[in-house]
Amino acid sequence: MAWRDADLDRRVLMFGGKGGVGKTTSSAATALHFARRGRRTLIISSDLTPSLSDIFEAEIGPTERPVPGVPHLYGLEISPDEVMRRWKEKFGPEVYQAASALVDLPYDEVIDYAALAPGIQEEFMLDYILGHIRSGRYDLVVWDTAPAGDTLRLLGLPGRFLAHLRVAPKVYLEVQDRFRLKQMPFREIIASWQELARQTMEF
Residue-wise pLDDT tens digits, 97-148 = 766 766 677 888 878 877 776 666 666 777 788 888 888 899 999 988 875 4
* pLDDT higher than 90, residue 202: no
| CATH code of the domain covering residue 9 | 3.40.50.300
Residue-wise pLDDT tens digits, 27-41 = 999 999 999 999 999
For residue 13, give its domain range: 5-202
- Cβ contacts of 151 within 8 Å, gap of 6 or more: 16, 46, 145
Q: Which residues pair with 96 in a beta bridge?
A: none
- The count of structural domains within the chain is 1
Report pTM.
0.66
- Cβ contacts of 1 within 8 Å, gap of 6 or more: 26, 29, 30, 33
Task: With both helix axes pointing from N to C terminus, report the angle between 120-134 and 148-178 in degrees, rounded to the nearest 10.
Answer: 110
